[in-house]
Structure 1
Amino acid sequence: MIKPLVGTCFAALLLGATAAPAAAVSDEPPARIRAADLAGTVALSNCSGSVVRVPGSQPGDRALVLSNGHCVESGFPAPGEVVVDRPSTRSFTLLDGAGGRLGTLRADRIAYATMTDTDMSLYRLTSTYADVESRYGITALELDGQRPAQGRAITVASGYWKKLYKCGIDGFAYRLKEGDWTWKDSVRYTSACRTVGGTSGSPVIDDQTGKVVAVNNTGNEDGGRCTDGNPCEVDESGRVTVRRGINYAQQTYKIVPCVGAGNKIDLSRAGCELPKPSGVR
């Protein structure tokens, strides 16, 4: 993981069969997606993150902050470890679109965190979405429930550095291995996204939809092979590919089915495929 701040971690319509009447043509222009900026991103002590919601989140729900598993305050989760509903007092600096400081948000729980198969953390805040919007004028970023597509233009929005990185989705790594950890179906950026330490946990925003499709987590710094700070790609046949200077993210669409009523993480929900703690089905 090279994307926490260096030195703080280690020294991520379907129509029915019955025909429907033709819809009237609207004269209204299609809704315009606002260009990705830093609104709703947060700065952690060592990483980046963002205030996020799923399509079913309600204004009165406690808000969630998305970051990486390797950014949690207790240190890197071990391979196979899954953290669920753990107390936390983490604080986050909330930013506006230009990167200006709006205020401090606080967590009371780590709702979910792991570095197994993916590299993500979700914090539950003491504030609701309505609280955040009324006080700061910030609307949470929405997590896309669909898998991201190769070739899409994206923005990696780092709250830590108050900086936007623009590039595209070059492809996907079947397995991404770094030291003791292995992640599945990771997003590979085109070379234009030269993310650095401190960008860990940044939301990866699809420029076309404005939705979050991944969370930034690592990159190959020195051309090393599968070592800390130098992840390698492993394909279905076990062949290893090293791409020096290329950076990666972990897809977030799998979070959506795992968020139930009240914005609570429920790993037993139908369609939820996030890693579960040992002994939990």
Structure 2
Amino acid sequence: MKTPLSGLLAVTLLGTAGAFAAAGPAAAVTAPTAPHAVRAPHAARAPHAATVGFAGTVALDDCSGSVVRMPDSQGGDPALVLTNGHCLETGMPAAGQVITDQPSDRTFSLLADDGSQLGTLQAVKVVYSTMTDTDVTLYQLDSSYDSIQQQYGTAPLTISPDHPVAGSPIAVVSGYWQTVYSCSIDGFVPQLKEGDWTWKDSVRYTSTCNTIGGTSGSPVIDTDTGLVVAVNNTGNENGERCTVDNPCEVDANGNVTVHQGTNYAEETYGIPACFGPGTQLDLTLAGCALPKP
């Protein structure tokens, strides 16, 4: 997982500062002014990625995230923040665990397009969180999309309802590090296993998305459409097999492979089908395939 303290199992899974599968939520830390805390060099970016900034993204105390809307969300709906399941402030969900409707007073730093801080957003509850099949947490805020737009002049990112496409140019936008990583979708992994957790149909990046701890929860944006297609969560750091911070790939025939240095994300296209009017979670809706409690 890509948390700031990646590799320290006692603290978190995969080092969420860049992945939900590298270091689960770590203790509260302040983002250091490290060499990575800048945008990726222009030469390393995909052709369209230069247009992707930090508008709509947030920084957590140990992870990254974004203010997101569903394709049919309305301006008066309560706003949502998307990050990793392993970034949950009360600790990483166990394998098979699904958390819904849990009170939360977590705060998020809302960023402007240039990465500067616009203000602080306040959660009222955890709408949904799991590390089973996927690695997501969705928070509900005490403000609507319209009120955020009016107060800060920034709009939410929209989650695509369509499966991502291999070869698409993407940008992984980390609010924690104020860094944009640019690459393409290399392909999809039937099962990605890390420690006790298994994720399905994960996104594999091409080599230029060298995400680090603290990037966990970053939105993965298709730079052709501007839509969120995944949420960044882990990478294989040391070449180990299926251990924390070292996920392994399992193909459709059960063959296991390890790709040291490769990073991954979890698809988000299935989320909109589980939300009804008013951005209200309803896991009984037709087409909703998110794991249920």
Q: 1:9 aligns with which of 12, 29, 34?
A: 12
Cα distance in 1, alignment partners of residues 153 and 263 from structure 2: 32
Residue 242 of structure 1: aligned partner = 258
Counterpart of 2:221 in structure 1: which amino acid?
Answer: I
Match of 1:255 in 2: 271
C-alpha separation in 2, matches of 1:211 and 1:243: 28
Secondary structure of 1:166 counterpart: strand
Distance 1:159 1:145 in 2: 23
Whether the aligned pair in 1 keeps the contact of 2:75 and 2:146 (CA below 8 Å) is yes
* Structure 2 segments unaligned to the other structure (5+ residues): 21-47
Question: Structure 2 length normalisation: TM-score?
Answer: 0.86
Counterpart code for 1:205: I
Q: Is the 8 A contact 1:35 1:210 kept in 2?
A: no
Q: CA deviation at 1:5?
A: 1.4
Amino acid across the alignment from 1:59: G
Q: Structure 1 pair 270/243, CA: closer, same or farther in 2 (3 Å)? A: same
User: What is the rounded CA distance, in whole Å, between the counterparts of 2:265 and 2:49 in structure 1?
Assistant: 23
Deviation at 1:9, TM superposition (A): 2.3
The structure 2 residue matched to 1:60, chosen from 73, 76, 88, is 76
The one of 88, 107, 118 equivalent to 1:102 is 118
Name the Cα RMSD after superposition.
1.4
Structure 1 pair 34–146 and aligned structure 2 pair: CA distance change class (3 A): farther
Pairing 1:129–2:129 present: no
Deviations 1:160-181 (A, max 9, x none): 0000000000000010000000
| Alignment partner, residue 45 of structure 1 | 61
Aligned to 1:203: 219
Q: Deviations over 1:56-113 (max 9, x none)?
A: 1111100000000000001010000000111000000000111000000010000000
Number of matched pairs: 257
Tell me the secondary structure at the aligned position of residue 164 of structure 2.
Answer: coil
When residues 160 and 33 of structure 1 are mapped into structure 2, their CA distance, relative to the original with a 3 A threshold, is closer
1:33–1:210 Cα contact (<8 Å) kept = no
Preserved contact between residue 49 and residue 171 of structure 2 (Cα < 8 Å): no
Q: What is the percent sequence identity of the aligned residues?
A: 58
Which whole-Å deviations, capped at 9, do the CAs of 1:120-175 have from their partners, x for residues lacking one?
00000001000100000110000000000000000000000000000000000010
Tell me by how many angstroms 1:35 deviates: 1.8
Q: Deviations over 1:200-247 (max 9, x none)?
A: 000000000000000000000010000000000001111001000000
Larger radius of gyration: 1
Tell me the TM-score normalized by structure 1.
0.89
Task: Look up the SS of the partner of 1:254 in the other structure.
Answer: coil
Measure how far apart 1:261 and its partner are.
1.0
Q: Please give the per-residue CA displacement for 1:251-279, whole angstroms capped at 9, x wherever unaligned.
A: 000001101011011100111000000xx
The residue identity in structure 2 corresponding to 1:185 is D
CA separation of 1:81/1:137 partners in 2, compared to 1, >3 Å: closer, same or farther? same
